Amino acid sequence: MSPERRIVYRQAGPQDEEQIGAIDDSFTTDTVYEVVADDEGFALRATVVDPPLVKKFPADESNDDESHGDESDGSDDSDDLHVEVAVDGGKVCGFVVAGVEEWHQRLVVHEIAVAPTHRGYGVGSALMQRACAYGRRLGARTAWLETTNVNVPAVRAYRRMGFTLCGLDTTFYRGTASEGETALFMSMALDAG
């Protein structure tokens, strides 16, 4: 990404749908989190994998995510979802999809993705800040997302953004292309401070 370019952030429109769908949300990692559980709780243990793991999300799982909060929570209330995009030189280079669940005032980040060429430049963080601002405007008290234990780059990014691990599900991906992975749930207070 050239230093003279400026990323423009805005709410997505119908004209962005094709470019959003074309974003490569795959990732490569040399570390995965092994979930260690006992009767008292669980912990994540970073484990090096060699060769590095390359994860590509099947087309039918995209726009359900880092993390793909990466992946979807299974709801299909697309009318109530808010989509923000990052645009560089007229081309969408990242997006976030979020919605507020009113019954408990929680912002759910359904998906966030940044094109590989724009990762590491704060695009994901800026998109998340915009999603959280949207949630706050609607009265959300927390932000919540789901990702997988193999998406260590996303987990690390979410932690830098202020999210903490709040739970997991070892059966969440049963019967999907991600079977064998563990869903990690992360949250962040929006009403603090």
DSSP string, 133-160: HHHHHTT--EEEEEEETT-HHHHHHHHH
> What digits encode the pLDDT tens for the residues 138-187?
999 999 999 999 999 999 999 999 999 999 999 999 999 999 999 999 99
Q: Is 119 left (phi over 0), alpha (psi -120 to 50) or beta?
A: beta
Q: How confident is the model at residue 192 (pLDDT cuts 50, 70, 90)?
A: low
Mean pLDDT (the chain) is: 89
Domains annotated for the chain, with CATH where assigned, are: 8-189 (3.40.630.30)
